[in-house]
Amino acid sequence: MATIFRPSTPPSLSQRLQLHRLKGLSPLLWLIIVNVAIFLGLRIVGIAGVFSGHDSWLTEASHWLSMPASLSALLHRPWTILTYMVTQVEVFHIIFNMLWLYWFATIFLEISSNRQLLWLYLWGGLGGALLYILSYNIFPGLRAEGSVLLGASAAIIAIVVATALRIPNYKLNLLFLGPVAVKWVALVTIVIDCISLTGDNTGGHIAHLGGALAGVVFVVAQRLQASRRRRHPRFIPGGRWVQGEPVQEAASTVKRASATHDDTATLDAILDKIKSSGYASLTPEERKRLFDVSNRIK
């Protein structure tokens, strides 16, 4: 018996536009959407459980997304090494994490690319997971049955630390404190995590420190890559040899090789100013120039 295949109905103009908008969302917005969507999903499960007489539904659902400290349990739930970093259960936890993610990722994106932000988020989450697992399986005082890790904090702290290392003098206007350099915000955050290791959330603070270390490693790796590029110039079609640009000076978003001679000279001056005085020292015109050219040639 012959089977007739009917072509699917082509998407309407509004559907195509909506798809285009979704594809155009930045990684930062996608990270926030995923975190919030999982939080809301868990909350809906919890509400359904309360009304149906199954109060444990929320705990059970979050259990399958949280990363266990036990290696044997992790082998049975390997996906949790990724899902834990986008899973929050408490209201204030998700609000605080998303605010920090938005604030520091926005600053980070002024000197880096969307791809670097996404990789740094994943790298920070993996760094937090690794230090958490190692600590709970090495130190006898931390071993506890059923210990799990969840939350985006480790990934976000990696972004905070990387931003502080890249542009340490960038000023944040904090409530009651006024302008504070981002390096001090990162330092205080790390100190608080260190002195809180004896509290009720030891595993969470260990993961935060793992994320901070991941942020340091990320920036150091970028600087080593930039150093290799400077030592080994590369050939550009057209008969020119150029030195590799320093990643830590926002060269990843400003490809000088494809810019005009005037753009290159201007960007060199701006990047030198960032290196010596920090991003906050740029005038509005210099920031606009950096943003416009990087968008045009990246």
Question: Which two tokens mark 50?
Answer: 């309360």
CA–CA separation, 151 vs 154, rounded Å? Answer: 8
For the chain, which residues score pLDDT lower than 50? 1-7, 13, 17, 19-22, 236, 238-240, 242, 244-259, 298
The reported pLDDT for the residue numbered 21 is 47
Helices 91-108, 27-52: axis angle to 10 degrees equals 180
CA–CA separation, 225 vs 220, rounded Å? Answer: 9
Query: What would the pLDDT profile of 6-60 be if each residue is shown by its tens digit?
Result: 445 555 545 554 544 445 568 899 999 999 999 999 999 999 988 888 888 888 8
Instruction: State CA 63 to chain mean position distance.
Output: 23
Closest listed residue to residue 204, CA positions, set 252, 136, 267, 250: 136
CA–CA separation, 278 vs 168, rounded Å? Answer: 7
For residues 291 and 261, the answer to whether their CB atoms sit within 8 Å is no
Burial class (CB in 10 A: 0-12, 13-18, 19+), 219: buried
The reported pLDDT for the residue numbered 11 is 57
The reported pLDDT for the residue numbered 97 is 95
Question: Which two tokens mark 105?
Answer: 């990722």
| pTM summary value | 0.71
Residues whose CB falls within 8 Å of the CB of residue 134, separated by 6 or more in sequence, listed in order = none
CA-atom Rg of the chain in angstroms? 23
Closest listed residue to residue 97, CA positions, set 193, 176, 31, 10: 31
